[in-house]
Amino acid sequence: MTDHIKESLIVLKSGKTILYPTDTLWGLGCDATNPKAVSEIYKLKNRIETKALICLVCSIGMLKTYIKEIPEAALGFLKTATKPTTIIYNNPRLIATNLVAQDNTLAIRIVEEGFAYELIKAFNKPLVSTSANISGNSAPKSFKEIHADILKDVDYVVNLQDEKTDAEPSTIIKILEDGTVKIIRP
C-alpha cells in the first residue's frame, strides 16, 4: 500500500476531506457514509446541500451494498460503456442522507483502475467525488487549475499532481422506472 493511500485512509477514517485524482477529474472527496464529512464537501465548494454529489465505488459488489435493486439496463450499460459513466440509481441505502438527492436517488460511478480505485478498495466504503472547484466555476482540467481556496481549505491533498486523469467529467445517465435511459450529461 502506498503512502498516499495510507495517509488518505487516516484522513477519511477521521471524517475529513481529501483532494485526489479520480478516473476523470481531480476531485474533492470524503467518506460517503459520513454526513458531517459530506457537509464539509458542500462547504468547500460553497454549494447548497440540495444539489447532489456523485459517489464512487470500486465494484459491482460494492454498488449492490448501497443500491438494493440495480436495474438490468444499468448493468447492461456498464458492460458496454466506453468512458467513465455515472448512473443515477433509485432508493440508495447505508449512505449519508445529505448525499441523497431530494427524489431519493444517488449518482454512483464504478471506478476500475488508478489511485481512486485503490483507495476505495482499501477504504472498503464509497467516496464522495465532486470536481475540485468552487460551485459555479468550471471544473479544473489539471491540478494547476485548482482554486487556491480549495487547496487551502481541504484537509489533505494527495501528492500526485502529475497523475493523469481523463480531464473530462463522466457521462451521467438516469434509468427511469420504465427502463428508458435519460442522458443527463453526455
pLDDT in tens, 68-101: 889 888 888 888 888 899 999 999 999 999 999 9
Residue closest to 24 by CA, chosen among 114, 119, 128: 114
Checking DSSP bridges between strand 85-90 and strand 171-175, what pairing results, if any?
parallel
Torsion over CA: 180, 127, 166, 103 (sign): positive
Instruction: Tally the C-alpha atoms within 13 A of residue 74's C-alpha that lie toward its C-beta.
Output: 23
C-alpha cell at 134: 468552487
pLDDT in tens, 127-141: 999 999 999 898 888
Can you tell me whether residue 61 is helix, strand or coil?
helix
Average pLDDT, integer, range 36-56: 92
C-alpha cell at 114: 488508478
Note whether 129 and 32 are within 8 A (CB).
no
Q: How many CB atoms lie within 10 A of CB 1?
A: 9
The whole-angstrom distance between residue 140's C-alpha and the CA centroid of its chain comes to: 15
C-alpha cell at 183: 442522458
Q: What is the CATH number of domain 3-185?
A: 3.90.870.10
pLDDT in tens, 8-19: 999 999 999 999
Place of cell 458531517: 36
Give the pLDDT band (50/70/90) at residue 164. low
DSSP letter at 98 equals: G
Residue 163 has a pLDDT of 65
